[in-house]
């Protein structure tokens, strides 16, 4: 016959196993709920087919649904790469251009500077690397004398 202390210990141990061991055995580990995430790369081009190389030194900003902003530098050829992975989902995008060059003939349309007016979005899906092409418009600068 078991003593009351032995029965209590067995019952307590069984309760611990059920509370902590059973969820793991059923596949309820924290890792299962980690969001999928992927690197992002892409190109900025103007509607006329011109590369966005005049945006070199600027930043592509992505805003998540939770209003977190991710900043990605724009390279000299108008491309951008973020090797650090982004969680899957849809992001609003905007362009923060570098200071304008005095000799530039065109400027990126100002609407692309704001999340609310840019109309740009990036969807990060389940691809190994998310490739994105964003098309912009621009306006001619007035003639200077």
Same domain, 23 and 44: no
Query: Residue 77 is encoded by which pair of tokens?
Result: 């050829």
Same domain, 7 and 74: no
Same domain, 27 and 69: no
Q: Which residue has the higher pLDDT, 99 or 35?
A: 99
Question: What pLDDT digit, counting tens, does each position of 1-43 carry?
Answer: 555 555 545 544 444 444 444 444 444 444 333 468 888 999 9
Is 145 inside a domain boundary?
no
pLDDT at 142: 77
Same domain, 14 and 44: no
Question: What pLDDT digit, counting tens, does each position of 70-90 carry?
Answer: 999 999 999 999 988 889 899
Is 56 inside a domain boundary?
yes
Query: Residue 133 is encoded by which pair of tokens?
Result: 């092409």
pLDDT at 32: 35
pTM reported for the whole predicted model: 0.72
The CATH number of the domain where 45 resides is what? Answer: 2.60.40.1120
Residue 112 in this model has a pLDDT that exceeds 80: yes
Range of the domain at 30: 1-34
Question: What pLDDT digit, counting tens, does each position of 126-140 carry?
Answer: 778 889 999 999 998
Is 113 inside a domain boundary?
yes
Same domain, 27 and 70: no
């Amino acid at each position: 016959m078991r003593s009351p202390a032995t029965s209590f210990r067995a019952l307590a141990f069984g309760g611990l196993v059920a509370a902590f061991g059973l969820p793991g055995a059923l596949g309820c580990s924290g890792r299962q709920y980690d969001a999928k995430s992927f690197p992002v790369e892409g190109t900025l081009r103007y509607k006329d087919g011109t590369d966005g190389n005049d945006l070199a030194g600027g930043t592509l900003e992505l805003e998540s649904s939770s209003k977190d902003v991710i900043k990605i530098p724009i390279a000299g050829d108008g491309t951008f790469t973020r090797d650090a992975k982004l969680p899957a989902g849809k992001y609003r995008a905007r362009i923060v251009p570098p200071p304008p060059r005095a000799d530039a003939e065109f400027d990126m349309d100002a609407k692309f500077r704001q999340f609310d007016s840019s109309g740009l979005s990036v969807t990060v899906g389940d691809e190994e690397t998310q490739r994105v092409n964003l098309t912009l418009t621009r306006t001619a600068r007035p003639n200077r004398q």
